[in-house]
């Protein structure tokens, strides 16, 4: 997952107040539940030294926004007030209330991990219904397209007249599909969904794919279900969409795992273990951090005045020019450094590849100073130290 949308956080000076909260409202009592959870979080914040105006800024944002998201991540500073408000596609696994030298971004990374922005195209001979789903998984835009060509029906009969009607109908289908493809291209270029899913009758889908641009075509998948005709089961479409999303997520994780194992095996474009990942993050080498989820982890890192002043030892951070390094949870420090270095984060769900300390990184480049495993082929290689992961 890329953290680019939150890059503006780097323009604000800490310390930072972070609140990750379950804001779901499943029934009429839901609003009261959100209020109670916020009150508990506020007490925890102020108990850590958060100034009252900073807590007030977060509370005001929670109260003023009537939208009931499953979860929210809110970050505020003393100087600038509220600086980030991110809706979460599901409630965080645990509430977070922290006043620290870096914002706590991992709750948003974790909950967004399983969400894939996509565009669903339900097409027939006359047009299509388009449904764009964004970073929270919810539909953010719905468009109905009716083609401008209305010679849609093939008629029975024979002879030249019959053939002319047949060809005119086929041409109308294709022109309508071309208009749908054009609309999809515009949405794709504007919003860049990871997937385009198309469902509908064979002729309409075939014509649509023929006219779709090459870039969008590479991420287009055909669903084994009908288009927008009456009687099409909404449940069947939802199941087909979910199956396609799961297949996409598993394929992406498998691709990252393969790249990591190949790079680590060659000892060039991948590193494993907390020390190695911290090293390549500092130097801007890391393209993607890979993590095994372990919320009980007790690993910590030391950070300095900037997010890339990061080390496993406080003395190293002092040598970078920071007089008083701060000790942070490892996942908090790593996510903050990843944001500064434009590094992605992927939480692995299937246990592979094996990673020292539960963490590894894919690299943008490698040189003679890149960390190397001493004996990569030894039995047990890739196991976490003491069975613990970085998270």
CATH of the domain at 22: 3.30.960.10
Token digits of residue 21: 């909260």
Strand order across the beta sheet in which 300-303 lies: 310-311, 300-303, 326-329
pLDDT of residue 378: 32
CATH number of the domain bearing residue 198: 3.30.420.60
Q: Are residues 128 and 107 in the same domain?
A: no
Count CB-CB contacts under 10 A for residue 137: 18
Q: Which residues pair with 71 in a beta bridge?
A: 22, 88
For 281-326, how does the pLDDT look when each residue is reduced to its tens digit (9 = 90+)?
999 999 999 998 777 778 899 999 999 999 999 999 999 999 899 9
* pLDDT surpassing 90 at residue 391: no
Per DSSP bridges, beta strands 139-146 and 359-363 are unpaired
Give residue 289's domain range: 253-387
User: Averaged over 245-269, what is the pLDDT?
Assistant: 90
pLDDT of residue 156: 46
Q: Are residues 122 and 102 in the same domain?
A: no
For 180-234, how does the pLDDT look when each residue is reduced to its tens digit (9 = 90+)?
999 999 999 999 999 999 998 888 899 899 999 888 999 999 998 877 666 677 8
pLDDT of residue 273: 92
pLDDT band at 120 (very low <50, low <70, confident <90, very high): very high
pLDDT of residue 127: 85
pLDDT of residue 355: 87
Do the domain assignments include residue 51?
A: yes
Domain stops at, among 77, 112, 147? 112
pTM of the model: 0.80
Q: Are residues 13 and 105 in the same domain?
A: yes
Q: Do residues 87 and 71 touch, judged by C-beta distance below 8 A?
A: yes
Burial class (CB in 10 A: 0-12, 13-18, 19+), 389: buried
pLDDT of residue 390: 61
Do the domain assignments include residue 247?
A: no
Domain stops at, among 232, 263, 294? 232
Q: Are residues 100 and 184 in the same domain?
A: no
Query: Dihedral angle at the C-alpha atoms of 311, 313, 316, 318, nearest 10 degrees?
Result: 100
Do the domain assignments include residue 131?
A: yes
Residue of higher predicted confidence among 165 and 378: 165
User: Taking the CA of residue 13 as centre, how many other CA atoms within 13 Å lie in the half-sphere pointing to its CB?
Assistant: 3
Count CB-CB contacts under 10 A for residue 366: 18
Q: Are residues 97 and 178 in the same domain?
A: no
Do the domain assignments include residue 239?
A: no
Q: Are residues 368 and 282 in the same domain?
A: yes
Do the domain assignments include residue 246?
A: no
Sign of the dihedral defined by the CA atoms of residues 109, 49, 13, 101, in that order: negative
| Mean pLDDT comparison of 115-119, 296-300, 339-343, highest-scoring range | 339-343
Token digits of residue 266: 């060659």
Do the domain assignments include residue 240?
A: no
Q: Are residues 52 and 18 in the same domain?
A: yes
Q: Are residues 160 and 197 in the same domain?
A: yes
Q: Are residues 144 and 217 in the same domain?
A: yes
Domain stops at, among 82, 112, 142? 112
Token digits of residue 170: 């086929």
pLDDT of residue 118: 93
User: Averaged over 56-60, what is the pLDDT?
Assistant: 94
pLDDT of residue 389: 58
pLDDT band at 20 (very low <50, low <70, confident <90, very high): very high
Q: Total structural domains in the chain?
A: 3
Q: Do residues 343 and 287 touch, judged by C-beta distance below 8 A?
A: yes
Q: What DSSP string describes 349-379?
A: SS--S--GGGEEEEES---TTS---S-TTST
């Amino acid at each position: 997952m890329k953290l680019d949308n939150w890059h503006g956080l780097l323009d604000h000076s800490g310390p930072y107040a972070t609140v990750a909260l379950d804001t779901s409202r499943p029934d009429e009592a839901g609003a009261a539940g959100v209020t109670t959870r916020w009150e508990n979080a506020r007490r925890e914040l102020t108990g850590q030294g958060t100034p009252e105006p900073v807590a007030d800024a977060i509370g005001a944002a929670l109260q003023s926004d009537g939208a009931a998201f499953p979860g929210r991540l809110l970050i505020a500073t003393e100087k600038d007030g509220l600086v980030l408000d991110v809706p979460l596609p599901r409630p965080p696994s645990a509430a977070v209330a922290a006043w620290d030298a870096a914002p706590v971004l991992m709750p948003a990374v974790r909950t967004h991990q399983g969400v894939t922005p996509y565009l669903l195209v339900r097409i027939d001979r006359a047009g299509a219904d388009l449904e764009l789903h964004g970073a929270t998984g919810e539909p953010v835009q719905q468009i109905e397209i009716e083609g401008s060509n209305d010679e849609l029906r093939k008629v029975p009969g024979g002879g030249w007249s019959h053939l002319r009607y047949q060809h005119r109908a086929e041409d109308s289908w294709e022109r309508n599909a071309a208009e749908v493809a054009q609309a999809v291209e515009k949405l794709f270029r504007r919003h860049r969904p990871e997937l385009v899913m198309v469902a509908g009758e064979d002729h309409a889908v075939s014509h649509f794919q023929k006219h779709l641009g090459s870039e969008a075509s590479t991420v287009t998948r055909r669903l084994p279900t009908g288009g927008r005709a009456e009687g099409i089961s909404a449940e069947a479409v939802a199941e087909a969409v979910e199956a396609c999303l799961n297949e996409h997520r598993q394929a992406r994780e498998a691709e990252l795992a393969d790249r990591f194992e190949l790079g680590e095996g060659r000892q060039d474009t991948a590193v494993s273990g907390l020390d190695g990942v911290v090293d390549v993050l500092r130097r801007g080498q890391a393209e993607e951090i890979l993590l095994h989820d372990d919320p009980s982890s007790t690993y910590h890192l030391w950070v300095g005045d900037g997010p890339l002043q990061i080390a496993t030892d406080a003395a190293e951070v002092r040598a970078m020019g920071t007089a008083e390094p701060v000790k942070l949870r490892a996942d908090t420090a790593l996510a903050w450094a990843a944001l500064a270095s434009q590094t992605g984060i992927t939480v692995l769900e299937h246990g592979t590849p094996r990673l020292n300390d539960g963490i590894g990184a894919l690299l943008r480049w490698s040189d003679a100073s890149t960390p190397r495993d001493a004996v990569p082929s030894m039995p047990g290689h890739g196991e976490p130290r003491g069975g613990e992961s970085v998270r």
